[in-house]
Amino acid sequence: MSLVSASTSSAEQSNSRLAESAKPILRAFVLLLAGALLWEGYKAMGQATGGTWPLTNVSLPVRTNSRSMPHVWDVIGALFRPARRGGEDLLLIILLRAALFTWRSAMLGFILGSAVGFGIGVLFTRSRLAERGLMPYVAASQTIPVIAIAPILVIWGGKLGLPNWVPVMVVSSYLAFFPVAINTLRGLRSPAPTAAELMRSYAASPTQELWKLRVPASLPYVFPALKVGASAAVIGAIVGELPAGMGQGLGRAILNFASSFSSAPEKLFASVVISALLGLVFVGLVSVFERLTVPSTSRHARKEPLGART
Amino acid sequence: MSLDSSAAISLRDVSVTFAGGAGGNVEALQGIGLDIQPGEFISLIGPSGCGKSTLLRVVADLLQPTAGAVSLTGKTPQEARQDRDYGMVFQAATLLDWRKVLANIELPLEIMGLDNVERQAKANAMLELVQLSGFSDHYPWQLSGGMQQRVAIARALVFEPSILLMDEPFGALDEMTREHMQMEVLNIWRSTGTTVLFVTHSIPEAVFLSTRVVVMSARPGRITDVIDIDLEHPRRFETREDNRFFQLLTEVREALRRVESES
């Protein structure tokens, strides 16, 4: 009987769905506000006590002067001023252009990395031998720092005569593939043994078993990993741009503003904010795709992703 | 003795030995011989660990016997599986939770490559048979345990197999739902003429449903008794209050007790 009472009119449903999709935006806004308040609160406290915790002599971990911690409004203000004295473009425009440029490599890297990660998951599900032989390499790949990999790939890419965005994309995919591979493998193995027996009783081919049973069952595991992969791909692209000598991306912008940190710290903080926003938008896009693909019932059963790289 | 090729299921000297760990090899089944004629309803009953489910898996070609021969309608289990001669129902309904009820029932037909129209027609007919016509657009989690199991039965029968293999299908249901489901499975059995091999823990369930009850012993799993159930068909609610029903319950119970005291 509860089934009857649970079905509401479609108008009501679309209304509540609208409210449902507005909720995360509101939540993000509140969190941003809280973050800004904490920042300014800490700063005000430090200014009042002269750099120590209240009523103690213990000094604060980060100095609170405007050189170390510019005011939130100064950071926002910097976004809406020209980046250089006498320059035409606002810092915001320059950073957004750089973010868009970086996002292109990150997007391609994310797609490549996810495809490779998914492929590795499928291969390892089909072959225990492949898993045993290759898993150590997959795991080891993540212990090598990106700053070591990136120049190697750039040099190789240059030797092969590839355009310089190719190695950047590969660095980005290098960070994205791992969480996708690990969680795809886990998701593909998630169906109960009886579900596999059921497919066998229908004389389903291995390919049918993969696409009708294992892949749909893996999606609640794969999507959280794709979100981890999306943000990792952004980091990979930013780091990869540096040895590739690409001047238009966020990597160069961050490096430039870091070198002038002591004179204009708010510009570095502004580029950090834009980088973070880029990651958030990317992860948000994956979430939208998830909502369209996975029915909410199986999304509820999703697990935390393994192999999230920090 | 050779296999009975006219039987729905024929088993000769079937043994299954699992290569064990510390305790050495485990003999799950030993010298199983049984002929099940088309249209019979056979229950396998015995203490846990007697290999009932193992036997079902051997018939279904999900497990290779170590020794002995098996045939389904004169074919090897592998041929029978590839020809989709049997449908299978497990204790857990094992529905795919991203598919709606109708799509779950269509799954085997999809694998067989039937077109959309034919699939939906067959799946809808099965939904009607298990009395869930109004629920085709529900997700499995929106249904009760009994309803989920009815969907699983519909899915097992949708490609019209001649044999239905059921592994404790009502084991997780409450007593009321269970009795209701027993009646329903008997109705389906009579209307489709399917041969049923049914694994259960419950003596009343075995007696109420079956034409014959096969009693098994544990470690190694052997057939110790085969008891004919001569209750009138169709079985009714009142059958459970029949004197003959109680006599047969006692008979099966005594057979099981002999099994227990032996081991």
A134 vs B: CB within 8 A: no
Cβ-in-10-Å burial (0-12, 13-18, 19+) of A134 comes to: middle
Q: Which residues pair with B217 in a beta bridge?
A: B222
Mean residue pLDDT of chain B comes to 92
Provide the pLDDT confidence category of residue A187 given band limits of 50, 70 and 90. Answer: very high
Q: Identify all chain B residues contacting A294, using CB atoms and an 8 Å cutoff.
A: 98
β-partners of residue B29 are B16, B221
Using the beta-carbon criterion (under 8 Å), do A295 and B98 form an inter-chain contact? yes
Question: Of A202, A212, A294, which is closest to B84 when you measure between CB atoms?
Answer: A202
The answer to whether residue A122 scores a pLDDT higher than 90 is yes
The answer to whether the Cβ–Cβ distance between A194 and B111 falls below 8 Å is no
Confidence of residue A4 (pLDDT cuts 50, 70, 90): very low
Contact A192 B92 (CB under 8 A): yes
Instruction: Of B163, B168, B195, B161, give the one whose Cα is nearest residue B182.
Output: B168
Contact A192 B111 (CB under 8 A): no
Write the pLDDT tens digit of every residue in A13-45: 556 666 777 787 888 889 989 999 999 999 899
Mean predicted confidence (pLDDT) in B110-116:
95
Q: Which residue of A lies nearest to B86 if distances are taken between CA atoms?
A: A201
Please give, rounded to a whole number of angstroms, the shortest distance from the CA of B98 to a CA of chain A: 6
Phi, then psi, of A179 in degrees rounded to 5: -60, -35
* B34 band by pLDDT with thresholds 50, 70 and 90: very high
- What's the pLDDT tens digit per position in B50-63? 889 999 999 999 99
Evaluate if residue A308 carries a pLDDT over 70.
no
Residue B263 has a pLDDT of 57
B92–A contact, CB cutoff 8 A: yes
Task: Identify all chain B residues contacting A204, using CB atoms and an 8 Å cutoff.
Answer: 111
Tokens matching residue B203: 């003596």
CB B138 within 8 A of CB B150: no
pLDDT confidence of residue A28: 81
* pLDDT tens sequence across A69-105: 888 888 888 888 887 777 778 888 889 999 999 999 9
Whether the CB of B168 is below 8 Å from some CB of chain A: the reply is: no
Q: What is the mean pLDDT of residues B14-28?
A: 83
**Which one of B62, B94, B98 has the shortest CB-CB distance to A192?**
B94
Q: Does B86 touch chain A (CB under 8 A)?
A: yes
Least confident range from A239-248, A281-290, B25-34, B157-166: namely A239-248
Residues of chain A contacting B81 with CB distance shorter than 8 Å: 200-201, 203
- Confidence check: pLDDT of A179 > 80: yes
Q: Is A295 on the interface with B (CB under 8 A)?
A: yes
Beta carbons of B81 and A208 less than 8 Å apart: no
CB contacts of A217 in chain B (<8 Å) are 96, 98
For CA atoms A254, A257, A258, A264, give the dihedral sign: negative
Q: How much is the pTM?
A: 0.82
Which amino acid is residue A70, in one-letter code? P
The fraction of chain B above a pLDDT of 70, given in percent, is: 98
> Is residue A185's pLDDT more than 90?
yes
B12 vs B91: CA distance, rounded Å: 27
DSSP codes joined into one string, chain A: -HHHHH---HHHHHHHHHHHHHHHHHHHHHHHHHHHHHHHHHHHHHHHHTSB-TTSSPBPSS--STTTS--HHHHHHHHTSBSSTT-SSBHHHHHHHHHHHHHHHHHHHHHHHHHHHHHHHHHHHH-HHHHHHHHHHHHHHTTS-HHHHHHHHHHHHHHTT--THHHHHHHHHHHHHHHHHHHHHHHHT-S-HHHHHHHHHTT--HHHIIIIIIHHHHHHHHHHHHHHHHHHHHHHHHHHHHHHT-SSSHHHHHHHHHHTTTT-HHHHHHHHHHHHHHHHHHHHHHHHHHHHHS-HHHHTT--PPS----
| B:33-72 residues touching chain A, CB 8 A cutoff | 57, 60-62
Average pLDDT over residues B224-228: 95
Of A194, A203, A212, the CB nearest to B107: A212
Nearest CA-CA partner of A100 in A290, A227, A281, A287? A281
Contact A298 B97 (CB under 8 A): yes
Q: Other CB atoms closer than 10 Å to residue A45's CB: what's the count?
A: 15
Number of CB pairs, chain A paired with chain B, less than 8 A apart: 58
CB contact under 8 A, A192 and B139: no
